[in-house]
């Protein structure tokens, strides 16, 4: 039986690797943070709505986590569900473009809000299923290899396709060029969904106990009680102080994309430049931060936050001097921000695993995720309001200030030490 499962895993790894690369290409070409935010400005949506789309997406993700996680965990077969989510996300992109083709701005705004909500909901459902599926069918080392291949091969393919589509459609009207990019993204979402159906999924995780009816009930008061209880632990409070400023830093990518869209949405090469820069950021970040992470998680987070602050400052200087007419400036800014945010995201997750006691890891992670997502919804909506009432540059200034605060918080974080008797990493309470 063990041999059969091992052979099944060997067959599944190439299939899942190929599927993850296809999905990476689709997500890069149809990225909500970069591509759809850029298109929202191109379609003349109010800046408040364009900026608040980040909040709308997070609300969808929160609903999926809060109400659907238990039922998804109880589902034995997941590959068909993952395939359906890929098809659904692709369909959301097509829907957004179809409505935008009417040229009716209020209708387009409603469509983008609905699409971002659905993408947030469906994407989180997919993440929950995919995490479970990979944990059951792929070994840790293979998962790591798959991750780097996904970023590398998917990033390269997305760059090549973006440049190819640009060359083919550069003489076309803007809507035609944008539709071509979304069309290619949709095609790769479909291919990704079909690819995962080729894997051999174990027929039964029969040892899982079905959830009882009471287990399905959602208790808001119990969740709040759990979060409040985590504040009794010093390591949790210290981690939260470091984590909260990073919420604003993570919003640098969509808001850097917005300021780029504001300046270049009419340019024939604006969207292509944004796609190539973000894809290049994913491509570079994996090997770069892997090397630094092996030495210090703190170094990655401090360097990442300072990179975001420096890049935002340069953008502001060029903007207020009236020199930000060159699309390459914003492409480089988005590239640096993507590299920085990707590194910060990986390092903070690894640091959390180092400082959180094993028995509190799940509760701590759930509490942090809840607090961070609520904060991200509020902060992104506030930044959207600033961008709408004043200008996007002012929202970028807020991100710069928050990045500097985050760099100080990350620098002051407690570095875990290794216990000589157990070999485990500990943090003094």
Of 10, 121, 142, 145, give the one whose Cα is nearest residue 60.
121
Assigned token pair, 337: 């921000």
Ranked by mean pLDDT, the top range of 196-210, 236-250, 317-331, 403-417 is: 236-250
Cα–Cα distance measured from residue 200 to residue 222, given in angstroms and rounded to the nearest whole number: 39
Assigned token pair, 219: 């208790």
Write the pLDDT tens digit of every residue in 161-217.
999 999 999 888 889 999 999 999 999 999 999 999 988 876 544 444 444 333 444
Instruction: Report the percentage of the chain scoring pLDDT > 90.
Output: 38
Torsion of CA 106, 110, 107, 165, to 10 degrees: 110
Write the pLDDT tens digit of every residue in 227-252.
888 898 988 999 999 999 999 999 99
Cα–Cα distance measured from residue 309 to residue 307, given in angstroms and rounded to the nearest whole number: 5
Residue 194's Cβ-count burial label (10 Å; 0-12, 13-18, 19+) is middle
Give the pLDDT of residue 378: 92
Please report the domains of the chain, with CATH numbers, ordered by start residue: 10-199 (1.20.1250.20), 226-416 (1.20.1250.20)
Write the pLDDT tens digit of every residue in 87-137.
999 999 999 999 999 999 999 999 999 999 999 999 988 988 887 787 777
Q: Which residues contact 349 (CB under 8 A, 6 or more apart)?
A: none
Contact at 8 Å (CB) between 236 and 364? yes
* DSSP 3-state of 188: helix
Give the pLDDT of residue 416: 62
Assigned token pair, 263: 């300046």
Of 205, 198, 194, 218, give the one whose Cα is nearest residue 73.
205
Q: Which of 19-28, 106-115, 245-254, 407-416 has the lowest mean pLDDT?
A: 407-416
Q: What predicted TM-score, i.e. pTM, was given to this entire model? A: 0.82
Per residue in 241-277, is it b (16+ CB within 10 Å) or e — as a string?
ebbbbbbbbbbbbbbbbbbbbbbbbebbbbbbbbbbb
Contact at 8 Å (CB) between 38 and 201? no
């Amino acid at each position: 039986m063990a041999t059969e499962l091992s052979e099944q895993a060997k067959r599944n790894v190439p299939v899942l690797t190929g599927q993850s690369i296809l999905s990476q290409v689709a997500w890069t070409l149809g990225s909500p943070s970069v591509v759809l935010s850029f298109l929202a400005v191109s379609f003349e949506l109010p800046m408040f709505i364009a900026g608040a789309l980040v909040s709308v997406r997070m609300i969808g993700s929160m609903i999926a986590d809060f109400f659907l996680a238990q039922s998804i965990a109880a589902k034995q077969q997941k590959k068909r569900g993952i395939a359906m989510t890929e098809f659904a996300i692709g369909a959301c992109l097509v829907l957004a473009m179809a409505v935008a083709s009417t040229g009716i701005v209020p209708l387009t705004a409603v469509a983008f809000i609905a699409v971002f909500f659905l993408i947030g909901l469906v994407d989180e459902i997919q993440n929950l299923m995919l995490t479970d599926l990979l944990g059951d069918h792929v070994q840790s080392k293979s998962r790591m290899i798959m991750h780097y291949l996904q970023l590398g091969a998917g990033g390269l393919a997305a760059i090549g396709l973006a440049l190819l589509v640009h060359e083919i459609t550069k003489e076309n009207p803007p809507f035609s060029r944008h539709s071509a990019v979304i069309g290619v993204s949709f095609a790769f979402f479909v291919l990704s969904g079909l690819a995962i159906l080729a894997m051999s999924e174990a027929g039964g995780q029969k040892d899982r106990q079905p959830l009882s009816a009471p287990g399905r009930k959602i208790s808001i008061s119990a969740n709040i009680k759990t979060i409040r209880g985590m504040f009794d632990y010093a390591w949790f409070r210290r981690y939260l102080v470091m984590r909260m400023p990073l919420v604003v830093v993570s919003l640098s990518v969509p808001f850097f994309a917005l300021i780029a869209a504001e300046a270049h949405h009419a340019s024939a090469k604006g969207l292509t430049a944004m796609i190539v820069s973000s894809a290049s950021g994913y491509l570079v970040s994996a090997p770069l931060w892997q090397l630094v992470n092996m030495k210090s998680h703190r170094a990655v987070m401090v360097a990442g936050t300072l990179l975001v602050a420096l890049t935002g400052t340069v953008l502001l200087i060029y903007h207020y001097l009236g020199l930000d007419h060159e699309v390459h400036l914003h492409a480089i800014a988005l590239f640096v921000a993507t590299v920085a945010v990707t590194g910060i995201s990986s390092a903070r997750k690894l640091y959390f695993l180092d400082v959180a006691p094993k028995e509190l890891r799940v509760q701590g992670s759930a509490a942090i995720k809840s607090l961070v997502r609520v904060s991200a919804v509020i902060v992104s909506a506030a930044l959207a309001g600033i961008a709408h009432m004043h200008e996007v540059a002012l929202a970028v200034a807020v991100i710069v200030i928050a990045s500097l605060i985050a760099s100080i918080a990350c620098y002051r974080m407690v570095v875990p030490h290794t216990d000589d008797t157990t070999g485990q990493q500990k943090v003094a309470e």
